[in-house]
Structure 1
Amino acid sequence: MLHDDIGIKNGILRKRFMRELANLKQITDYSSCDPTNLAAILNSLGQEYTKYTYSLLHGGIDKNTLTVVTDEMLITECNIDNTIHRMKILLAAES
Structure 2
Amino acid sequence: MSESSKTEAFYKKLKEQLYDTSSWPSEYLYKFIIKSDAFKKNTIEHIFDNMGAVIQTTESKNGNYISVSVNVEMKDPETVIVKYKEVAEKVEGVISL
Using structure 1 for the length normalisation, give the TM-score.
Answer: 0.28
Using structure 2 for the length normalisation, give the TM-score.
Answer: 0.28
Structure whose residues are more often helix by fraction: 1
Structure whose residues are more often strand by fraction: 2
